[in-house]
Chains A and B, each alone.
Chain A
Amino acid sequence: MKKIQILFLLILFISTCEGMAQQKYTISGYIKCSETGEALTGATVIIKELNKGAMANAYGFYSITLPEGKHSVQYSYMGRISKTEDIELKGNINNNVELQQASVEIAEVVIVSEASNKNIKAPEMSVIKISPKDVVSIPVIFGEQDILKTIQLMPGVASSGEGNSGFYVRGGGADQNLIILDEAPIYSSAHLLGFFSVFNSDAIKDMEFYKGNAPANYGGRLSSVLDIQMKEGNAKKVSASGGIGLIASRLTVEAPIVKDKGSFIISGRRTYADIFLPLWHDPAAKETKLYFYDFNAKANFKINDKNRIFLSGYFGRDVFRMSDLIGFNWGNKTATLRWNHIFGNRLFLNSSLIYSDYNYGIGYNVGEVLEVTSGIKDYNLKEDFQYYINTKNTLNFGFNAISHTFRPGELNSDNEEFYNSKTIGKKHAGENAVYISHKFDLSDRLKLNYGLRYSNCIVLGPDTVHTYNGNDEITSSAFYKKGEIIKDYGILEPRLTLNYIVNNKMSVKMSYARNAQYLHLLSNSTVSLPTDIWISSSKTIKPQIADQIALGFFRNFKDNMFESSIEVYYKNFQHQIDYQNGAEIILNENVESQLVFGKGRAYGAELFIKKRTGDLTGWIGYTLSRTERSINEIDYGAWYPVKHDRTHDVSIVLMYDFNDKLKVSANWVYNTGNAVTFPGGKYVIDGVIVPAYTNRNGYRMPAYHRLDLGVTLTNKKREKFESSWNFSIYNAYARRNTYSISFRENVNDPSKTEAVRHSLFQLVPSITYNFKF
């Protein structure tokens, strides 16, 4: 009770911080795209004389409170023609605006407008915002503009490399990234082998990526937030776009339900990587299936000026099957129902009801058919309020309640005579949070965004809970009934970002954030497997906590043609999970006995330079960092680098626009190899040579680097039809990047041992035909 009272008083206090006695009125409304009716997230509203402005939220809604009288209000959005309206303010006004796409010639000019130094002025830091419409920014890989691939080309974000899904942000693990698609959490963000993300870029409108210091409305994962908004669908006319390619094909169809009031979008994609398999020498390849598909759908309807509803869903699946013997499949499915409501003209509410399910199945036929399945299911209710008090103050507050059901593992055997079926009981936990944050302009130069999030995790029965001693033996057991509370954790997460604007070209930012994470991904391998298991915090497993502090210096050059920044960060991790030697994770009722816990730390510097305009565009990113852990049971608590610690990480992305028809792109990446454990000596047991190991992760794999090239040929634009061809090559100079290193006895001379490197992909071509109408 006390907390709610404080919240209430805070809201009341801040909303009376208006100051002047002069009468004020509010202009509010939606800013949309004039061609399709899509909301323009982040569009700006500026009143130059007063040096005041506001930004449209994720739904295109803006609200700006000004003194009564005449004002010249300018609406702008990157790549579009700005609109200036003279408004006489005598009362509250509802003003919806549509902005037109600029033609290429005008686009050059528009880009150098006020909106273009957003990176200097915005109070957020360590955040990357990309919209697929921002065509100049994204290179094409495998015929698609993959947003997830693009963020991995940014400093501070390390890709997990070929054959692996997942990415690492500022040293955080692959399970420490919160990925949400239209508010629904996505548990596995990449399709097979990490070549494609689960997001079909044709269906995506906007994406915001925070490197660890997201504002208080986000929580649940330590290292990053990737918030992806799907397109709403063309509300003016039917349109379609898609591509047919060597590896994947996709199609998106959008149309209005009622013109300008409602629309829908359906998008699908399928790959057929198995088409390449016969090229490999292995005869086994002929009977193998390897493909994935995904499907996005969304519909929205505007009931009236104050109410709008959205229904969106995602379904994706990966399938791998090796003749009749082995198969596995996994995927996410989500559904979100949302309702936007505007109270008055300054309070915006988004209410969401969300369902998310991630599961996998492994089947194998060894005479008997065995099937192992596992998964996690969520039901989630979220309320997010945005209160646009005045141009200096915005308040965000709300709550989030998630009910998680974990299925840690089920084994079904079709022949009970030999193998017993086994089920590890479902586990339940509730994850809830309440938050408030305040965006406050202390002065024209000093902007503040601070907030507090209180989150908790309640682990519920029915379940039998054991505690273990150092030898994995059970020391106590307790049975809990359905709904009985097994364990309850509550954590306060303060967030703060400060921006000091030195001048139009330069700013200094500082941020601090504490994040708590109650879900953990168990993965006892050096490569990521989709069969890794999600579990909840419990009596034995404490929530992970990270504190991150960052400092950055931002500078634009040559009239915002160049953007540059340097950021340094330090991160402290608590309750990190690692595994005992020989840990058994799969189908183990006592999996908690296999875990060991400790602390971690990460620190680094990120350099970034981007050229935004001209025929040549692109960026260079460089990260110097260190991430390490200390766990009592491993090397007696000595600090050791984590597997994905990358001392150097370089990304160079270049795009050259020859003319209307020809565009070329190249990206080159380089990173220090993963930290690995190599033997220091050898000995013999039972006639077989055994490696002897010393420190955990004391060595490095060879460095990874690769060049990708792409060419896009745009066909002559016909009246309603656009098309282009894209040719690209992955790993153009065929470098044998190390996937893993193993040690073995020499085939010809067993007394000799050798190190063997396994590499995956070299020179993978792709041809795609893209179209749009």
Chain B
Amino acid sequence: MKARLIFFSLIILLTSCEDVIEIELNYMEPKLVIEGVITDSDNQCVIKLSKTADYFNKKTNPAVTDAVITLTDNKGRIVNFTEVEPGIYSEESVQAKPDINYTLTILSEGNEYEANATIPRKVNIDSLTCKYNSESIFYEVGYVVSCHFSDPGAVRNFYRLKTYNINDSTHARSSEDIYNDDMFNGNKVELAWSYDVFQQSDTVVVELYTLDAQTYEYYKTLFQISGGDEMMSTTTPANPNSNIKNGALGYFGAYTISRDTIIISPSRLSTTGNK
């Protein structure tokens, strides 16, 4: 529930002052960060390893090289990863399928890390429509794209939505649009990311990710501490809940991607859900 949204709106209203200040932070021993994702698309699995850097340090995080990474599925098949670039390990021959439990094992600098993930059943986008927004407090003038799909009632589903202009794919990276199906389980759903608007003739790509439960949990706790411009956190900050054992930061995520495109024009306007 977006209770925090309400509170932010009140505080943004009243925050007459915002300024950058100097803060001294204590030294923290660099920690290993594992960013690993397995999906059903592209038959590829990419794992990135790096170390944390000082918070106010301008340099990028150092890559961690020479790690030994293997992926095992519940049938015992093992796949080894090759380091294609410093800190980036990938494997091309992974045929990731839903409902199979994958175990990732990483051996780096004498420590072993392990994580499990299962790819969920894919939920596909049924259709895309667009809606015109005239000026209002939160939204700029333009078209908002909605994604329509049917949520399977029998299981608990978790989603992430990325909506972006085909020419600007990097912007959508930080999309925090995540959902669980508690409020709409089993229904036909319409989801829209209202904070990005598009103009007529834009080609917009919508990606509906179906996430596994641990990946949703990771993103949920990740977005509470990062991303966005005015991220004024009200919950007590802590590192996100990760499925990686033995104290590394990052996660081993699993999801499916359903992709669709729409060219904005008045003929694709949505007629449902309009108030």
The complex places the Cα of A646 from the Cα of B188 at a distance, in Å, of 51
CB contacts (< 8 Å) of A193 on chain B: these are: 14
Say whether B235 contacts A754, CB under 8 Å. Answer: no
Residues of A within 8 A of B80 (CB): none
A702 to B57, CA, bound (A): 22
Asked if B6 and A362 sit within 8 Å, CB to CB, the answer is yes
**A87 neighbours in B (Cβ, 8 Å):** none
Closest Cβ of chain A to B170, distance in Å, is 7
A280 within 8 A of B: yes
- A741–B23 touching, CB < 8 Å: yes
Contacts of B188 in A (CB 8 A): 417
Known: A422-B183, A529-B3, A736-B17. A681 touches B30 (CB 8 A): yes
- Interchain Cβ contacts under 8 Å between A and B, 16 examples: A287-B137, A364-B6, A419-B184, A422-B183, A525-B7, A582-B240, A680-B52, A681-B52, A681-B55, A684-B61, A688-B227, A689-B226, A691-B55, A740-B232, A753-B56, A761-B14
> Of A171-179, A317-325, A376-384, A598-606, which binds chain B?
A317-325
Contact call B13/A282, Cβ cutoff below 8 A: yes
Interface residues of B (CB under 8 A from A): 1-7, 9-23, 25-28, 30-31, 33, 35, 50-58, 60-61, 136-138, 170, 173-174, 182-185, 187-190, 194, 217, 220-222, 224-241, 249-251, 273-275
Q: A209–B89 Cα gap in the complex (Å)?
A: 64
Q: How far is the CB of A51 from chain B (nearest CB, A)?
A: 56
Return chain A residues, CB-CB under 8 Å to B230.
742, 744
Query: Is A682 located at the chain interface by the 8 A CB criterion?
Result: yes
> Which 10 pairs between the two chains have the least Cβ-Cβ distance?
A680-B28, A681-B52, A582-B221, A525-B234, A687-B173, A683-B33, A759-B17, A690-B226, A581-B238, A755-B23
Residue of A nearest to B2 (CB): A364
**A525 and B23 contact, CB distance less than 8 A:** no
Chain B residue numbers with a CB within 8 Å of A756 are 18-21
Interface residues of A in 462-513 (CB under 8 A from B): none
Q: Chain A: residues with CB nearer than 8 A to chain B?
A: 163, 193, 277, 280-285, 287-288, 320, 322-323, 325-326, 328, 362, 364-369, 372, 411, 413, 415, 417-420, 422, 524-527, 529, 531, 579, 581-583, 586-587, 643, 677-694, 696-699, 702, 736, 739-744, 747, 751-762
Q: A419-B183, A687-B174, A690-B222 are in contact. Are A757 and B1 (CB under 8 A)?
A: no
Q: Does B232 lie within 8 Å of A683, measured CB to CB? A: no
Q: Give the number of A-B contacts (CB < 8 Å).
A: 241
CA distance A683 to B16 in the complex (A): 31
Q: A581-B240, A682-B55 are in contact. List 11 more A-B contacts (CB 8 A).
A: A322-B13, A323-B136, A372-B1, A418-B189, A690-B222, A692-B52, A741-B21, A744-B230, A756-B20, A757-B20, A760-B17
The minimal Cβ–Cβ distance linking A463 to chain B, given in whole angstroms, is 20
Q: Is the CB of B33 within 8 A of A758?
A: no
B31 and A685 contact, CB distance less than 8 A: no
Q: Are B10 and A320 in contact (CB under 8 A)?
A: yes
Of A365, A702, A743, chain B has the most CB atoms within 10 Å of the CB of A743
Chain A positions within 8 Å of B51 at CB level: 683
Query: Given A282-B12, A683-B250, are A691 and B237 also a contact pair (CB < 8 Å)?
Result: yes
Task: Establish whether residues B23 and A322, one from each chain, have CB atoms under 8 Å apart when the complex forms.
Answer: no
Contact B14 A683 (CB under 8 A): no
Pairwise interchain contact B220-A582, C-beta atoms closer than 8 A: yes
User: Considering the chains assembled together, what is the distance between the CA atoms of A699 and B26 in angstroms?
Assistant: 9
